[in-house]
């Protein structure tokens, strides 16, 4: 039964929409899921070979510059479907700013405030990046009938804004 690696999941899913090369997959990740599900070349290329070996992918065509375009096999589609219908829910969150906040009783109030300010600014910048860089692509998908990428993006902006708002309140509280 489907025991796909994290990178395999995103590879199969992106290929389901249309055939892609490893390079294409990396780009797709970067303009969409990077924030909550990344994938580097060091993961993608070996994984593509493994998935091909396992019969879940096949090479559709080999183009110039060594470009290899992969597509799903029937077995690959089945595996993807199993995962999409599954209930595995890996959730990881690591936040160094928050760790510093947690220990801010150990430092002077000004430094603590500075940290909170940086946390808020980082979130505001992320939201701005989402809107300017990611939203156009998500909107394009939506126009083509795939609405969930835009929803996922809205989820991301909504909670980062919620974090930013909370941090702004804390700033006000901490200000001298």
**Interface with DNA in residues 52-91 (CB under 7 A):** 63-69
Of the candidates 114, 123, 116, the residue with the CA atom closest to the CA atom of residue 164 = 123
b/e code 145-154 from CB counts within 10 Å (16+ = b): eeeebbebbe
- Angle, vertex CA 79, rays to CA 78 and CA 85, nearest 5: 90
Binder to its own copies among 75, 122, 137, 171 (CB under 8 A)? 122
Q: Pick the closer one to its own copies by CB: 62 or 81.
A: 81
89 binds, among DNA, its own copies, none (CB under 5 to 8 A by kind): its own copies
Binder to DNA among 16, 19, 24, 126 (CB under 7 A)? 24
Q: Pick the closer one to DNA by CB: 37 or 166.
A: 37
The window from 18-26, 32-40, 43-51, 127-135 that contacts its own copies (CB under 8 A) reads 32-40
Take residue 94 and report the two structure tokens written for it.
């690591």
CA 148 to each of CA 31, 123, 155: distance values in angstroms, whole numbers, following the listed order: 14, 23, 10
| Site membership for its own copies, residue 129 (CB under 8 A) | no
Residue 108 CA to residue 61 CA, distance in Å, equals: 61
Of the candidates 11, 12, 36, the residue with the CA atom closest to the CA atom of residue 149 = 36
Site of interaction with its own copies (CB under 8 A): 6, 9-10, 13, 16-17, 32-33, 35-37, 80-81, 83-85, 87-107, 111-112, 115, 118-119, 122, 145-149, 151-152, 154-156, 158-159, 162-163, 166-167, 170
């Amino acid at each position: 039964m489907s025991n796909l690696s994290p990178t395999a999941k995103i590879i199969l899913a992106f290929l389901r929409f249309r055939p892609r090369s490893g390079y294409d997959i990396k780009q797709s990740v970067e303009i969409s899921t990077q924030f909550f599900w990344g994938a580097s070349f060091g993961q993608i290329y070996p994984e593509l070979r493994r998935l091909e070996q396992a019969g879940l992918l096949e090479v559709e065509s080999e183009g110039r510059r060594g470009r290899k375009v992969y597509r799903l096999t029937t077995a690959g589609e089945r595996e993807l479907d199993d995962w999409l219908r599954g209930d595995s829910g890996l959730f990881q969150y690591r936040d160094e700013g928050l760790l510093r906040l947690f220990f801010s009783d150990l430092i002077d109030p000004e430094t603590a405030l500075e940290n909170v300010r940086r946390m808020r600014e980082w979130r505001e910048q992320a939201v701005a990046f989402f809107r300017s860089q990611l939203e156009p692509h998500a909107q394009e998908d939506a126009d083509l009938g795939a609405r969930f990428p835009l929803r996922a993006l809205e989820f991301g902006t909504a909670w980062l804004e919620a974090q930013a708002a909370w941090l702004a309140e804390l700033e006000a509280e901490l200000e001298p």
